[in-house]
Amino acid sequence: MITRKSSREIEMMDEAGTLLANCHKEIAKRIKPGVTTKEIDDFVEDYLAKHGATPEQKGYNGYEFATCASINDEICHGFPRDEKLVEGDIVTIDMVVNLNGGLADSAWTYVVGEADEKTQRLLDVTKTSLYKGIEQAKEGSRIGDIGHAIQKYAEAEGYAVVRDFTGHGIGPTIHEEPHIPHFGLPNKGLRLKEGMVITIEPMINEGTWKSQMDSNNWTARTVDGSRSAQYEHTIVITKEGPRILTDQD
């Protein structure tokens, strides 16, 4: 079932989104060589508790952590762990914040230390592809318009779009209908309506789009060992256009 949120629900999700955005800004200051993703995960749990919020991912379908931390060729759902990040790694931190029942979901890819040119381009194209998708997220557009805008841009830049994981409706649980693929055909699929809240979260690979599942049954990684980046926002469909709830600016 696809729900449309009341203005009160949207305000609650907006508050969760602001907290999540602030948490990402704190993470950005802490990502450096020698830090572990377990330390980042502990920081997030503490930060949310201090602000009266909880990590919605923890316990979700048995997932054990506050964040997903996906390093280099890991596409998504990487487990936070004790391995130290090293100069040049890329790491995607993804989390869902629950503040008084309002949810927001946002992922961000960070570079550890200095980004070289190849890394910077991967991150820039991935982030721009998210915003190309967001531009389409308005009343009257169709779901295919979002995926098409992302795929057209990312592939023209020489990258591949992951097919096995999609954006989604969100609230009151993490994953609600509809699915929002990051590839597709314009003018196809469900029409977006005011009050729908969705995530857009393209995972963009340097090599093939194909993914494989780790033996932990959670973590997806590229089949060719190439790196994968991801940016994600939670967005409300309004008559005036997309409203980003997890904006960091």
Spatial CB neighbours of 85, under 8 Å, sequence gap ≥ 6:
31, 32, 33, 34, 35, 36, 37, 71, 91, 112
Which of Co ion, ligand MF3, none does 73 bind, CB closer than 5 to 8 A by kind? none
* Beta-carbon count within 10 A of 205 CB: 25
**List 18, 63, 115, 224, residue binding ligand MF3 (CB under 6 A):** 63
Under rule CB under 6 A, residue 77 binds ligand MF3: yes
Which residue type, as a one-letter code, is found at position 209? W
Under rule CB under 6 A, residue 61 binds ligand MF3: yes
Report the site for Co ion in 67-126 (rule: CB under 5 A).
Answer: 105
Nearest Cα to Cα of residue 227 among 106, 94, 67, 118: 118
Q: Please identify, among the stretches 5-13, 61-69, 113-121, 188-196, the one whose residues bind ligand MF3 according to the rule CB under 6 A.
A: 61-69
Under rule CB under 6 A, residue 24 binds ligand MF3: no
Structure tokens, 102? 């309002």
Report the site for ligand MF3 in 138-197 (rule: CB under 6 A).
Answer: 174
Furthest C-alpha separation in the chain: 47
Question: Residues binding ligand MF3: what is the number (CB under 6 A)?
Answer: 13
Whether the CA torsion 10, 16, 18, 20 is positive or negative: it is negative
Under rule CB under 6 A, residue 43 binds ligand MF3: no
Helix (H, G, I), strand (E, B) or coil at 235: strand
Instruction: State the minimum distance, in angstroms, from the CB of residue 230 to ligand MF3.
Output: 9
Q: Please identify, among the stretches 19-27, 45-53, 58-66, 186-194, the one whose residues bind ligand MF3 according to the rule CB under 6 A.
A: 58-66
Q: At what angle do helices 143-156 and 117-135 cross, to 10 degrees?
A: 160
Structure tokens, 79? 């487990």
**List 201, 219, 231, 243, residue binding ligand MF3 (CB under 6 A):** 201
Which of ligand MF3, Co ion, none does 131 bind, CB closer than 5 to 8 A by kind? none
Q: How do strand 167-169 and strand 203-205 relate by DSSP bridges?
A: unpaired
Structure tokens, 165? 């994981």
Under rule CB under 6 A, residue 96 binds ligand MF3: yes
Instruction: State the minimum distance, in angstroms, from the CB of residue 167 to Co ion.
Output: 6
Q: Could you list the residues that contact ligand MF3 (CB under 6 A)?
A: 57, 60-61, 63, 68, 77, 94, 96, 105, 174, 199, 201, 232
